[in-house]
Amino acid sequence: MTRLDENNNEIDLECRDLRRTFGNFVAVDNVSFGVPKGDFFSILGPSGCGKTTILRMMAGFLEPTSGDIIIKGKSMLNVPPNKRPVNMVFQHLALFPMMSVAENIAYGLVRQGMNKSDTATKVKSALERIGLPGSGDKSIKQLSGGQQQRIAIARCLVLEPAALLLDEPLGALDLKLREHMKVELKKMQNQFGTTFIYITHDQSEALVMSNHVAVMNEGRFEQIGTPQELYYHPDTSFVAGFVGDSNRWHGKVDAIDGSVIRVSTSDGISLLSVPAGGEKLVVGDEVDIFVRPESIIIAHDEARAQEMDNRLSGNVVSVLFNGANSRALVRESKTGGELDVALPQTGEFSGLSAGQQVFLGWGKQQSKAFASVNSPTNKGHGG
């Protein structure tokens, strides 16, 4: 029986109530998700949240404590790794250094019992598809980091797996190559049409490449959605804080007017917000408010920010110039709190410098309030 997702795509790979404990420690806590065929699905979460544990259970290197993994409609429990129709790209690639490039790519084909000439043709065409024709006789050490990356992926893709599992494959690369490989990986996935399950703690990797992203925290999935959904409509304060940058306040609900709430923050300002977490908020509830740097309007004169629901003024502490992604750090005049504000690309603020007074404003829809969960992992990540 094949299952379909909401868009009638065939579900290729599914985890049901997957759970894994190490002693008393719950590394993966009842995680359920389905990945449609051909999807680029990312699992995004901070270090130690259990991402690798999920992936290793799918690959067959770890037994789940409970729950089920279904690939192509078949349960994978008690199926050894070498019999599963998924392949894994390891964090440090795990290319075989004692073999040539061609032997590495042929490894799985030979294990399947494919004959010599077919193997050679397949290896040759794989090398062409990843843009490394004629590199078959090279040794692994002769290749650059990015080339090794492509070999590691090609080695799995020639086996035409139901899904490719990638465990932070870009983690070992330097920044520049990483940016390049993001585009490259996405291209490769399109070209081969294979389902990718991609693990990362880098939100920009997940947002740029994926069709769907699951945000994971402490063994559980906080939210599954498209990158846009996660960015614009986070379900939990963890997601709001982890995906993208945010300015963040902690406060108490003062008044509720329909779908709008007034919050007085702990540093003494009053902000209009909308509840975003789906919880029912009442007056007196503790909440966290998140505002994206790019939702904040910055102006030299007070009139421009006047029509906004939330208004603040302050002085520029520093300008963080980064081309199109330039930001200003502004110290709010009443409370002394610092805000991260994106600078518009109109050139109006190209002369902005430290010490200047600016006026800030944003709409109530742009400030999202979540009922406060007082756990330490909910801190940080804000702008």
Partner 1 sequence: MNTQTASRLGLILLLAPLLVWLTALLILPHVDMLLISLRERVAPQVYERSFANYTEFFIEPLYWRTFARTAIMSISATAITLLIAFPVSYYIAKMLRGRSKSFLFLLCLVPFWVSELVRTFGWMILLRESGVVSNVLQWAGLVDGPVEMLYNDAAIMVGLVYTSMLFMVVPLVSILDSLDDSLVEAGYDLGGNGFTVMRTIIIPHAMPGIVSGCIVVFMLTLGNYLTPILLGGKSSMWFTAQIYTQFITRFNWELGAAFGFLLLALSTIIVWTGLKLSRQTLSETMG
Q: What residues make contact with partner 1 under the rule CB under 8 A?
A: 59-61, 80-82, 87-88, 90-92, 94, 96-99, 107-108, 111-112, 155-156, 159
Q: Which of 27, 31, 70, 230 binds ligand ATP (CB under 6 A)?
A: 27
By rule CB under 6 A, what count of residues binds ligand ATP? 11
Which residues ranging from 38 to 67 are in contact with ligand ATP (CB under 6 A)?
A: 45, 47-53
The Cα angle at residue 183 between residues 102 and 139, in degrees rounded to 5: 20
Q: Which does 74 bind (CB under 5 to 8 A by kind): ligand ATP, partner 1, Mg ion, none?
A: none
Distances (CA, A) of 325 to 228, 245, 341: 18, 12, 10
Query: From the CB of 299, what's the least distance to ligand ATP, in Å?
Result: 41
Is residue 286 a contact partner of residue 250, using CB atoms and an 8 Å limit?
yes
Q: What is the 3-state secondary structure (H, E, C) of 116-139?
A: HHHHHHHHHHHHHHCCCCCCCCCE
Tokens 């094949």 sit on residue: 2
Q: For ligand ATP, which residue has the nearest CB?
A: 52
Tell me the one-letter amino acid at 306.
Q
Q: Which of 42, 52, 195, 246 binds Mg ion (CB under 5 A)?
A: 52
Judged by CB, which is closer to ligand ATP: 93, or 143? 93
Q: Quick check: 53 binds Mg ion (CB under 5 A)? A: no
d(CA 136, CA 123): 8
Q: Which does 22 bind (CB under 5 to 8 A by kind): ligand ATP, Mg ion, partner 1, none?
A: ligand ATP
Query: From the CB of 268, what's the least distance to partner 1, in Å?
Result: 53
Query: From the CB of 100, what's the least distance to ligand ATP, in Å?
Result: 30
Nearest to 382 by CA among 273, 270, 237: 237
Query: From the CB of 199, what's the least distance to ligand ATP, in Å?
Result: 7
Query: From the CB of 51, what's the least distance to Mg ion, in Å?
Result: 5
Is residue 267 a contact partner of residue 337, using CB atoms and an 8 Å limit?
yes
Judged by CB, which is closer to partner 1: 106, or 207? 106
Is residue 382 a contact partner of residue 248, using CB atoms and an 8 Å limit?
yes
Query: From the CB of 155, what's the least distance to partner 1, in Å?
Result: 7
Q: Which stretch binds Mg ion (CB under 5 A): 51-59, 154-162, 211-219, 259-267?
A: 51-59
Residue-by-residue DSSP string for 190-253? HHH--EEEEEES-HHHHHHH-SEEEEEETTEEEEEE-HHHHHHS-SSHHHHHHSS--EEEEEEE
